[in-house]
Amino acid sequence: MNIQRILVTGRLYAELAALLPDKRPDKAFRFVAEDELQEADFAWADAYIGFQPAGPFSLAHLRWVHSLGAGVDAFLWKRKWKPDVLLTRTIGSFGEQIAEYCLSYLLRDAQCHDVYAWYQEQRQWKPVAPKRLSEQRMVIYGTGEIGRRIAETLRLFGVSPVGVSRSGRDTPPFSAVYRHDEAGEALARADWVIAALPLTEETHHLFDETFFSCLHNAGFINVGRGATVEEAALVGALENRNVRLAVLDVFEEEPLPPHSPLWGHPHVIITPHIAALTAAEDAARSILDTLDRIEAGEPLANAVDVSRQY
């Protein structure tokens, strides 16, 4: 594939302008803010780099699209894709970042941080025994790169994480992996469920009333995609204590609307899609490596299977 003209946009476009041209002076780059994109930019480019389709986005002249994020649902969800356009995604430290994010909230809960903060306000000396992570049952939805990194991190604390995937295929470092339709028993015993799924036709609203009814006073963390959760069902699960605490980094509508009941719920922790942020240096490395491999005709570990939407 011959790539010559590369259009770069998104929140990192100015930083990437300082990192990419010197590494590939043989390519023509155009760095444009999303709100300044014009039809002429897409008519000029044969490659597009960004977090999402922006401006008058068109695949008509493109041969390669690269997502600056780990996910690609912004490009594929409810969109038609030209089969002759290559779609790739950024590979960086996303798994490590998300594992640390999850671990921070698991430890906060296990070490009773909120309980002791309240006792401190009340000037009360009341010892509460912390819970050991190794004694808790963790179920991770998604056994790909990110799910595996979460599982590897939890194993360092003596956890034997269970995975749930589309295929149910055994995947290290999970102690067991179930298909979605086989996970009921694991969910019934779960202390925590961690959702790290991409958004596809199969995963849209996967976490619905039926799913939450399987839980019994469990914690729920979503670091995958917001639209995998039916938010009204989650609110109901919080009210009836199927879910005792929800840690949510992603939402079906972002930014989360001010009227959402999740904002004020006492058992919900909200963060603004920051569990894994793309660093400009990681993005530049991934872009350049992908471009080199495309030109050399080498296999691409970050190529997206458009038919599967991830």
Token code pair at residue 102: 């999850």
Give the residue among 186, 183, 146, 187 at the shortest CA–CA distance from 166: 183
Q: What are the φ and ψ backbone dihedral angles of 234, each rounded to 5 degrees?
A: -65, -45
What gap in Å lies between CA 28 and CA 15, rounded to an integer?
Answer: 17
Catalytic residue among 30, 180, 265, 273: 273
Catalytic residue among 63, 148, 225, 231: 225
Residues 6+ apart with CB under 8 A from 1: 63, 64, 86, 294, 295
Residue 66 known to be catalytic: no
What gap in Å lies between CA 103 and CA 85, rounded to an integer?
Answer: 38
Asked if 42 and 56 touch (Cβ cutoff 8 Å), the reply is: yes
What gap in Å lies between CA 27 and CA 58, rounded to an integer?
Answer: 21
Asked if 53 and 286 touch (Cβ cutoff 8 Å), the reply is: no
Residue 273 known to be catalytic: yes
What gap in Å lies between CA 185 and CA 207, rounded to an integer?
Answer: 16
Catalytic residue among 254, 281, 295, 298: 254
Token code pair at residue 228: 């995998």
Give the number of other CB atoms < 10 A from CB of residue 50: 25
What gap in Å lies between CA 109 and CA 117, rounded to an integer?
Answer: 12
- Which of the residues are catalytic? 225, 254, 273
